[in-house]
């Protein structure tokens, strides 16, 4: 069964209006459904189960329609050219400046051009300056930051304390006091006397060849 055949199957043989019907049946946005059929995204497991139940199909049939599951090789790759309209240039800071959340041109090592949809709202990139968030983040990993002054409970953030700048998980205690936690068990939680929220870590990346990348782990 193809995508068009699925639309006809759920809409009395008609493709017109079928995506809207599917969105209504699943109680999701028509934009989400449109993205499935354009190949921009893939239905979540919950929606696959709903479709299978609603339209008397198996989950495997639904998955195969949108993506050939388990397929290792493809005859082609769909590449989206990067242009000024669909990319954003993020400054990569040479180090974690002491003046954060503000920084100057002198702090910028280079710029990274990425598609806008990858990290919506991103403001800058810094290298992870410690091992507090291991095993998820490692020293030298690049962290994408969205500026905010709001401490977000349970999220890893860049913060400035009386001891300096670090990356910690925010833990809001019952009395409103903020505790800073690490995911690395060798560091104990602590309550800072001074705290400035620099930004939220919304993504990160690393390289597998760190041992050959001069300066990365300095």
**What single-letter DSSP state applies at residue 35?**
H
User: Distance between CA atoms of 95 and 143, rounded to whole angstroms?
Assistant: 12
Q: Which of 65-69, 173-177, 179-183 has the highest mean pLDDT?
A: 179-183
Residues 101 and 156 in one domain: yes
Instruction: For residue 143, report the phi and psi dihedrals to the nearest 5 degrees.
Output: -115, 130
| Better pLDDT: 19 or 139 | 19
CATH of the domain at 27: 1.10.260.40
8 Å CB contact between 155 and 196: no
Q: What angle do CA 139, 141, 146 make, to 5 degrees?
A: 115
Q: Full-prediction pTM beyond 0.95?
A: no
Residue 195, in any domain of the structure: yes
Rounded to an integer, what distance in angstroms lies between the CA atom of residue 94 and that of residue 150? 25
Residues 13 and 91 in one domain: no
CATH code of the domain covering residue 186: 2.10.109.10
Please report the pLDDT score of residue 81 as a whole number.
61
Give the domain extent around 94: 87-212
119 found inside a domain:
yes
């Amino acid at each position: 069964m193809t995508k068009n055949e699925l639309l006809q199957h759920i809409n009395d043989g008609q493709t017109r209006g079928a995506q809207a019907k599917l969105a209504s049946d699943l109680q999701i946005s028509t934009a989400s459904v449109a993205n499935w059929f354009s190949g921009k995204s893939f239905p979540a497991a919950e929606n696959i189960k709903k479709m299978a139940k609603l339209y008397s199909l198996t989950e495997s049939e639904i998955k195969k329609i949108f993506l050939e599951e388990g397929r290792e090789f493809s005859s082609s790759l769909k590449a989206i050219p990067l242009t000024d309209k669909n990319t954003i240039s993020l400054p990569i800071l040479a180090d974690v400046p002491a003046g954060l959340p503000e920084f100057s041109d002198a702090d910028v090592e280079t710029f990274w051009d990425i598609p806008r949809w990858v990290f919506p709202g991103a403001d800058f990139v810094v290298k992870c300056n410690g091992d507090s968030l291991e095993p998820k983040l490692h020293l030298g990993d690049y962290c994408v930051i969205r500026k905010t002054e709001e401490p977000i409970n349970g999220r890893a953030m860049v913060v400035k304390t009386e001891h300096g700048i670090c990356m910690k998980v925010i833990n809001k205690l019952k009395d409103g006091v903020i505790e800073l936690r690490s995911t690395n068990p060798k560091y104990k939680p602590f309550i800072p006397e001074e705290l400035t929220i620099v930004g939220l870590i919304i993504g990160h990346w690393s390289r597998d060849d760190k041992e050959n990348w001069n300066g990365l782990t300095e």
